[in-house]
Amino acid sequence: MRIIQVQTQAEAAGAQRISDMVGDGLRARGHDVRTVFMYRKTDAFDGDPHADFVLAEPPTGLPGQVRAAIGLAAYLRAARPDAVISYQHYGNIFGTIGARLAGVRHIVANQSGAPQTKGVMGLLSRIDRLMGVLGLYQANVVNSAWTQAQFDRYPQAYRRRIRRIDHGVPAPADDFDKAAARAAFGLPRDAWLAVSSGRLTQMKNQIALVGALERLPDVHVALAGVGPERDALVDFAGSRGLADRLHLVGEVPTARIFEFLAAGDAYAFPSTTETFGLACVEAAISGLPVVSNDLEVMREVLTAEDGEAAAIFVKADADGMAGGLAEMLARPELMARLSAAGRRLRDKYSPARMCAGYEALLLS
């Protein structure tokens, strides 16, 4: 089967990690899979032989967005795939429309967030709801029980297309030496280090983690990622005398994410909204003890099948994050227990199981 995956932007982020795993898994099962990005945002996929770009740079204004949408439709019409899997809000909408125009029979959408009611995201949610009710895509994938519950009040015509496929989360293939990992990323050799990964945005709330440093004089923080909040984080740290304990390593490619995680003593996740929290689960599976925002979905995904949590759950402000990290510093036995529970998540979030779920949808 020839399959095209549609993503909005090319960058090293959670949704793109999922499409990477799905693409690799389906190719291993004998399918021809390519991923098309509506635009290139970073160089994360420049060397990927299975990736294509509609636009070489982010679109500017409405004319740019229209060019991206028309270009995507033309790409799909030329490719004539047997199936399309779409990701993220714009990818779902324009991928589904483009696939329909190209005469594609099998269209699978992915819900990467809870329905919204206000602003642009509210408009996109209303469009998605209409598309689901009309059956413009055949299946609509959610990645957790919490995410599925967000659509409980949607019409039955929409809900009957929902299929739950939990994200697959890869386990590290190698054991990385902590000292070597720190040297590779220019991080302090002997400091107690909390690490975090993800786009630097207000939603990811890294500023709460930086603020926690004021209450933890012996702790350093390393952030992997790029995004619009970078300068605000640097300014905030500088204004409070924390600049020497905040380390921004930039975008870390997928192939090196476990090397980066190996540099940490703990993983901190102050994100304010998630449907799964792939980066956090990835850190837990690598064996890092986790301090996470106390979100219902994070309690769900960070609990091993034996019922033991792999994280301390706290309020996602500076006091909460500082309190969670301080508890770890004071209780090495707690860190060891959380680490062991995190490693047990490997079976719960098998990439092979996820890919088999997508293949079953496409072949049905």
Span 184-217, pLDDT tens digits: 999 999 999 999 999 999 999 999 999 999 999 9
Asked if residue 114 has pLDDT above 90, the reply is no
Q: Is the pTM of this model over 0.85?
A: yes
CB-based contact 235:227 (threshold 8 Å): no
What per-residue confidence (pLDDT) applies to 351? 94
Range of the domain at 90: 2-168+350-363
**Judgement on whether residues 357 and 319 belong to the same structural domain of the protein:** no
What per-residue confidence (pLDDT) applies to 36? 98
Please give the distance of CA 2 from its chain centroid, rounded to a whole number.
25
**64 domain residue, yes or no:** yes
The per-residue b/e assignment along 164-198, b for 16 or more CB within 10 angstroms, e otherwise, is ebbbbbbbbeeebeeeebbebbebeeebebbbbbb
Cα–Cα distance for residue pair 159/148, rounded to 1 Å: 9
> Could you give the C-alpha distances from 107 to 162, 189, 281, in angstroms and in order?
13, 49, 28
**Judgement on whether residues 14 and 157 belong to the same structural domain of the protein:** yes
What per-residue confidence (pLDDT) applies to 109? 97
Mean pLDDT, range 249-259, rounded to an integer: 94
**76 domain residue, yes or no:** yes
**251 domain residue, yes or no:** yes
Mean pLDDT, range 90-95, rounded to an integer: 95
**Judgement on whether residues 200 and 148 belong to the same structural domain of the protein:** no
What per-residue confidence (pLDDT) applies to 174? 84
Nearest to 40, CA basis, from 61, 13, 58: 58
**Judgement on whether residues 338 and 355 belong to the same structural domain of the protein:** no
**Judgement on whether residues 359 and 215 belong to the same structural domain of the protein:** no
Mean pLDDT, range 32-37, rounded to an integer: 98
Higher pLDDT, 364 or 278: 278
**235 domain residue, yes or no:** yes
CB-based contact 189:179 (threshold 8 Å): yes
**Judgement on whether residues 187 and 115 belong to the same structural domain of the protein:** no
Contacts of 78 (CB under 8 A, 6+ apart): none
**Judgement on whether residues 97 and 123 belong to the same structural domain of the protein:** yes
Q: Where residue 131 sits, what CATH number does that domain have? A: 3.40.50.2000
43-75: per-residue pLDDT in tens? 999 999 999 999 999 999 999 999 999 999 999
What contacts 24+ positions apart, CB below 8 Å, involve 225-229?
225/12, 225/197, 225/198, 225/199, 225/200, 225/250, 225/251, 225/252, 226/11, 226/42, 226/199, 226/200, 226/250, 226/251, 227/199, 227/200, 227/201, 228/200, 228/201, 229/200, 229/201, 229/202, 229/204
Higher pLDDT, 333 or 305: 333
Mean pLDDT, range 11-31, rounded to an integer: 94
**354 domain residue, yes or no:** yes
**Judgement on whether residues 252 and 292 belong to the same structural domain of the protein:** yes
Mean pLDDT, range 93-107, rounded to an integer: 95
Q: Based on the structure, what is the number of domains in the chain?
A: 2
**Judgement on whether residues 50 and 89 belong to the same structural domain of the protein:** yes
**173 domain residue, yes or no:** no
**95 domain residue, yes or no:** yes
**Judgement on whether residues 187 and 317 belong to the same structural domain of the protein:** yes
**Judgement on whether residues 215 and 254 belong to the same structural domain of the protein:** yes
**9 domain residue, yes or no:** yes
Cα–Cα distance for residue pair 70/72, rounded to 1 Å: 5
**Judgement on whether residues 31 and 69 belong to the same structural domain of the protein:** yes
Asked if residue 240 has pLDDT above 90, the reply is yes
Task: Give percent above pLDDT 90 in the chain.
Answer: 93
